[in-house]
């Protein structure tokens, strides 16, 4: 059911959960969209989403500034300031970082100034990908002062924001992470892992998802999604918030499905979820309910699924136009936002699916579950399930609840604690003597959180940067599943290829060479099988050059003449007439 909507096609991002309720939406004019006046003006707006106000369905603008170009991605980080910062990646190859507080200060009528490279509220501009559209942009959810960018040039970068020596925040600096990264083609999407700050994934136009381990400075694995999906291309990815090694992949019109992949068995997907008739354009895995994944597509439909079973759980009212993106609200778990070329920006609830024709809800979401089988009325009478039963009801009253031994012990502790002045050294020492170390840390943390950080074994330096996203939480390395996967996949490429050749698995060896973009090796090994295998490598190499290095006209000419198909030559914008 729609709660709010406005006529707008945009890239958008919800405000971080730490900013509270009611939530806000940061919206940026979407690249490729145009309003009814054929205007090319672009704006970054912050809109209020107050679902408690039911008599007004509009999303009012509370802050607005002008953008130098139209956007592909928007993200909002709680770092640097009370309202955080908003990043916008654009088609001109630049990423613009704005102060959310300054955008709000501009008011709903802001953005009236002339177009410039330094609009109001702009803190920094990143030009690393100048000339290539930046379709991948994401702040690190665990360490929000880091962000990653990826563009049509096939290059991805990691950036960090550091506190200045005299206060404030310095401009983004590039983090040296992995050298000699192979270019797998234009990057269409990238996502940081929600739990492990040193892990992130990139999806490329060639249908490959690369997962990178910044701590070990290596690639964890490469999922050849296109090969397992009838040649379909990737459009979006999203990490599972609870199962660390799982992610969901959305595919284009060639095979419009969602696929759940596990990095530990990354040859074929665990399962597919089909229902869209147009390519998947956006994915969102609910942080509050890991058994719900939302998807939107070019068919104008928004659905949510149970990735554990592959069943569709519900669907929003179709919009009839190509959808741009879908995102769950971080503070209102049943609320979801979508944007389309209609133009229409919608905020809806996933709790009411009666009018959508969706399947019956297969499982009750966590936010609708009761924490226990009990209910309290106005007179403090409690009806609860008897211990160990599912049907027997017990009535009791909160006015005369007998204290358990644990309750009595806790009460005595708090009575003793009240004898000491708040924040006094005596209170802190008594807590330490009674082995309440965490409470002692909180008691001594009056004007600084250093005692709490010391207790958690996590210094301020590791929290704010240093080497960066590679440093995680205490004990994280012990249970980091990506370390084992990285070690397994670090077996030398030459060793794996040699084993396949010696065992007579020529086709597998050739495929491995091509997946690593070692086409010279692939040609040499394909010669062992002859004609059809050599032709396969030749076609794959031509497609690789067209996607990554279209300036190699001589290779494209040779490929067109060999196949008799001149369409790739024309599509690559090669001056073939000369």
406 and 389 in a common domain: no
Q: 565 in a domain, yes or no?
A: yes
Residue 132 pLDDT more than 80? yes
Q: What confidence tier does 52 reach under pLDDT thresholds 50, 70, 90?
A: confident
55 and 10 in a common domain: yes
Residue 213 CA to residue 193 CA, distance in Å, equals 10
Residue 468 CA to residue 399 CA, distance in Å, equals 54
Q: What confidence tier does 103 reach under pLDDT thresholds 50, 70, 90?
A: very high
107 and 27 in a common domain: yes
118 and 2 in a common domain: yes
Q: 364 in a domain, yes or no?
A: no
Q: What is the mean pLDDT of residues 319-332?
A: 93
119 and 19 in a common domain: yes
Closest residue by Cα to residue 443 from 430, 456, 460, 459: 430
Per DSSP, the residues of 322-378 read: -EEEEEE-SSSTTEEEEEETTTEEEEEESS--TTTTPPPPSS--GGGS-SSSEEE-T
Residue for token pair 């609840």? 401
Can you give the three-state secondary structure of 117-162, one letter per residue? CCCCCEEEEECCCCCCCEEEEEECCCCCCEEEEEECCCCEEEEECC
Most confident of 267-281, 453-467, 559-573: 267-281
In 3-state terms the chain splits into helix, strand, coil percentages (rounded to 5) of 25, 30, 45
Give the alpha-carbon dihedral of 161, 163, 165, 167, to 10 degrees: 120
Q: What confidence tier does 526 reach under pLDDT thresholds 50, 70, 90?
A: very high
Could you tell me how far CA 69 lies from the centroid of its own chain? 23
Q: What pLDDT is recorded for position 405?
A: 58
Identify whether the C-beta of residue 23 lies closer than 8 Å to the C-beta of residue 1. Answer: no
Q: Within a 10 A sphere around the Cβ of 474, how many other Cβ atoms?
A: 10
536 and 423 in a common domain: no
120 and 97 in a common domain: yes
Q: What pLDDT is recorded for position 87?
A: 96
Q: What confidence tier does 491 reach under pLDDT thresholds 50, 70, 90?
A: low
What are the CA-CA distances from residue 127 to residues 71, 73, 94, 139, 198 (Å)? 14, 15, 5, 17, 24
φ, ψ for residue 7, nearest 5 deg: -80, 95
Q: 389 in a domain, yes or no?
A: yes
Q: 133 in a domain, yes or no?
A: no
Can you give the three-state secondary structure of 54-107, one letter per residue? CCCCCCCEEEEEEECCCEEEEEEECCCCCCCEEEEEECCCCEEEEEHHHHHHHC
439 and 451 in a common domain: yes
Residue 554 CA to residue 574 CA, distance in Å, equals 10
74 and 26 in a common domain: yes
Number of domains in the chain: 4
What is the percent of the chain where pLDDT is above 90?
Answer: 40
442 and 394 in a common domain: no
Q: 480 in a domain, yes or no?
A: no
Q: What pLDDT is recorded for position 464?
A: 41
CATH code for position 13: 2.130.10.10
Q: pLDDT tens digits for 374-412?
A: 888 887 888 888 877 778 888 888 776 655 555 667 777
- How many Cα atoms are found within 13 Å in the side-chain-facing hemisphere of 147? 28
Q: 89 in a domain, yes or no?
A: yes
Could you tell me how far CA 33 lies from the centroid of its own chain? 23
Q: Within a 10 A sphere around the Cβ of 256, how many other Cβ atoms?
A: 22
Q: 238 in a domain, yes or no?
A: no
60 and 88 in a common domain: yes
452 and 519 in a common domain: no
Q: pLDDT tens digits for 426-443?
A: 888 888 888 788 888 877
Identify whether the C-beta of residue 295 lies closer than 8 Å to the C-beta of residue 252. Answer: no
Give the least confident one: 246-250, 343-347, 358-362.
358-362
Total residue count of the chain as it appears in this document = 578
Q: 521: domain range?
A: 491-571
CATH code for position 516: 1.20.58
Q: What is the mean pLDDT of residues 184-200?
A: 92
Q: 49 in a domain, yes or no?
A: yes
DSSP E strand boundaries for 140-231:
146-151, 156-160, 173-175, 187-192, 199-204, 208-213, 218-224
């Amino acid at each position: 059911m729609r709660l709010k909507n406005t006529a707008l096609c945009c890239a958008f991002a919800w405000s971080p959960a730490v900013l509270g309720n009611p939530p806000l939406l940061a919206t940026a004019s979407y690249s490729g969209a145009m309003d009814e006046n054929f205007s090319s003006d672009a704006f970054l707006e912050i809109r209020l989403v107050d679902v408690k106000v039911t008599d007004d369905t509009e999303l009012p603008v509370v802050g607005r500034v002008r953008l130098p170009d139209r956007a592909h991605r928007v993200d909002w980080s709680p770092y640097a300031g009370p309202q955080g910062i908003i990043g916008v990646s654009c088609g001109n190859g630049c990423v613009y970082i704005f102060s959310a507080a300054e955008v709000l200060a501009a008011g709903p009528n802001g953005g009236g100034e002339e177009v410039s490279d330094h609009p109001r509220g702009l803190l920094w501009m990143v030009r690393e990908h100048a000339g290539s559209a930046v379709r991948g942009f994401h702040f690190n959810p665990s360490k929000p002062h880091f962000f990653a960018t990826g563009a049509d040039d096939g290059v991805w970068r990691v950036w960090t924001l550091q506190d200045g020596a005299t206060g404030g925040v310095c401009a983004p600096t590039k983090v040296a992470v992995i050298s000699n990264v192979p270019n797998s083609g234009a990057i269409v999407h990238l996502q940081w892992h929600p739990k492990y700050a040193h892990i992130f994934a990139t999806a490329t136009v060639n249908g490959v998802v690369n997962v990178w381990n910044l701590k070990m400075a290596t690639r964890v694995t490469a999922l050849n999604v296109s090969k397992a999906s009838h040649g379909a291309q990737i459009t979006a990815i999203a990490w599972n918030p609870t199962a660390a090694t799982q992610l969901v992949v959305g595919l284009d019109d060639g095979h419009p499905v969602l696929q759940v992949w596990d990095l530990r068995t990354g040859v074929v997907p665990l399962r597919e979820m089909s229902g869209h008739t147009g390519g998947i354009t956006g994915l969102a895995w609910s942080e509050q309910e890991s058994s719900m994944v939302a998807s939107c597509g070019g068919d104008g439909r928004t659905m949510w699924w149970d990735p554990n079973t592959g069943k569709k759980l519900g669907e929003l009212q179709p919009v009839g136009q190509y959808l741009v993106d879908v995102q769950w609200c971080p503070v209102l778990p049943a609320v979801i936002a979508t944007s389309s070329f209609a133009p229409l920006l919608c905020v809806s609830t996933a709790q009411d699916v009666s009018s959508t024709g969706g399947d019956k809800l297969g499982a009750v979401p966590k936010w609708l579950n009761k924490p226990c089988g009990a209910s309290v009325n106005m007179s403090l009478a409690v009806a609860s399930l008897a211990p160990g039963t599912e049907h027997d009801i017990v009535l009791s009253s909160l006015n005369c609840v007998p204290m358990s031994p644990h309750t009595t012990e806790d009460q005595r502790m708090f009575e003793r604690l009240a004898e000491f002045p708040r924040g006094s050294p005596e209170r802190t020492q008594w807590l330490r003597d009674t082995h309440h170390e965490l409470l002692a840390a909180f008691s001594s943390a009056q004007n600084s959180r250093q005692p709490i950080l010391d207790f958690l074994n996590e210094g301020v330096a590791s929290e704010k940067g240093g080497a960066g996203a590679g440093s995680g939480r205490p004990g994280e390395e012990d249970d980091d599943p990506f370390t084992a996967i990285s070690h397994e996949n670090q077996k030398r490429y030459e060793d794996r290829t040699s084993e396949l050749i010696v065992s007579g698995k020529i086709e597998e060896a050739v495929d491995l060479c091509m997946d690593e973009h070692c086409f010279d090796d692939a040609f040499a090994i394909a010669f062992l099988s002859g004609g059809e295998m050599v032709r396969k490598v030749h076609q794959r190499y031509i497609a690789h050059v067209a996607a990554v290095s279209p300036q190699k006209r001589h290779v494209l000419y040779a490929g067109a003449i060999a196949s008799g198909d001149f369409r790739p030559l024309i599509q690559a914008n090669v001056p073939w007439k000369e």
